[in-house]
Amino acid sequence: MDIEEVLTSYDDDMQFVTADGFDDAFIGIAERFGQPPVVAYDKRKCIQILMERDGMDYEEAEEFFSFNVIGAWVGDSTPIFVTLYEDHDAKVED
């Protein structure tokens, strides 16, 4: 799924914020009542990207992700990171 293609299919007035470098972890758009739609990513895939791209081990990638990615609030359009139910107990392979 191409993230740019999905985002451009929405109304031109929508202001989506994306997480740089995590396009391969994009899973869709999340919506809630009274809130703007936001970009959604698979948390496990994001950690895997950090491990493969940046050479981090699992613990380093998880700590970096928690502090620098999830911890980066950029307003109401901040992306969300989903732990998929089937992945809840799965650990990224080192």
Tens place of pLDDT for every residue, the chain, 94 residues? 688 888 888 877 778 999 999 999 999 999 999 999 999 999 999 999 999 999 999 999 999 999 999 999 999 999 999 998 875 566 666 6
91 falls within a domain = no
94 falls within a domain = no
Domain count, the chain: 1
**Contact criterion met (CB below 8 Å) for 59 and 65:** no
Rg (CA), the chain: 14
56 falls within a domain = yes
46 falls within a domain = yes
29 falls within a domain = yes
Q: What three-state secondary structure class fits 30?
A: strand
89 falls within a domain = no
- C-alpha distances (whole Å) from 14 to each of 1, 33, 38, 68 are 19, 16, 9, 25
Quote the domain boundaries for residue 58. 3-84
